[in-house]
């Protein structure tokens, strides 16, 4: 199964594609889509949308995995901006007939690291070790996206 994990953001949207199932997975591709704050929001969202459609067309994922939206009461604007990026991602997935699966961040962290409150650095290190990467995935959004894909693969094993 080809699993595309996406860590949405208006500035940086990380993505990671893995192939396999359960514990037998291979890294196919990972990267990020960057926008510039100099552009207005609609231009930035269009860039994410176009880039994601191109990515989907190139890598042909069978499922897209997103983190469930979480909003902290101290930072409501973050949820609003993140929601716009997620909406564009959901639209691209729907138009390309790719099912979307969502998980809370703590569930992904627990599945991949065994600890639901893991730090960004811990996620980066785990992804680096898992795929034998020479360096930490940077920006961290790439590691987050790969963790989503890996977590989905691990959790699908438990369903069998």
7 is catalytic: yes
Catalytic entry in 39, 67, 102, 144: 67
Catalytic entry in 7, 19, 57, 62: 7
Determine the Cα–Cα distance for residues 112 and 109; give it in Å rounded to an integer. Answer: 5
* Contact between 30 and 141 (Cβ < 8 Å): no
Catalytic entry in 19, 46, 102, 141: 141
Bond into 139 cis (ω within 30): yes
Determine the Cα–Cα distance for residues 2 and 55; give it in Å rounded to an integer. Answer: 13
144 is catalytic: no
Annotated catalytic residues are 7, 67, 141
């Amino acid at each position: 199964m080809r699993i595309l994990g996406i860590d949405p953001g208006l500035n940086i949207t990380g993505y990671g594609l893995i192939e396999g199932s359960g514990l037998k997975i291979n890294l196919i591709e990972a990267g990020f889509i960057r926008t510039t704050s100099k552009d207005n929001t609609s231009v930035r969202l269009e860039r994410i949308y176009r880039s994601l459609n191109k990515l989907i067309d190139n890598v042909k994922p069978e499922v897209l995995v997103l983190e469930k939206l979480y909003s902290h009461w101290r930072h409501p604007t973050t949820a609003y901006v993140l929601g716009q990026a997620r909406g564009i991602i959901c639209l691209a997935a729907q138009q390309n007939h790719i099912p979307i699966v969502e998980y809370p961040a703590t569930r992904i962290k627990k599945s991949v690291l065994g600890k639901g409150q893991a730090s960004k650095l811990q996620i980066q290190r785990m992804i680096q070790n898992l795929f034998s990467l020479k360096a930490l995935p940077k920006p961290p959004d790439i590691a987050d996206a790969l963790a989503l894909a890996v977590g989905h693969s691990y959790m699908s094993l438990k369903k069998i």
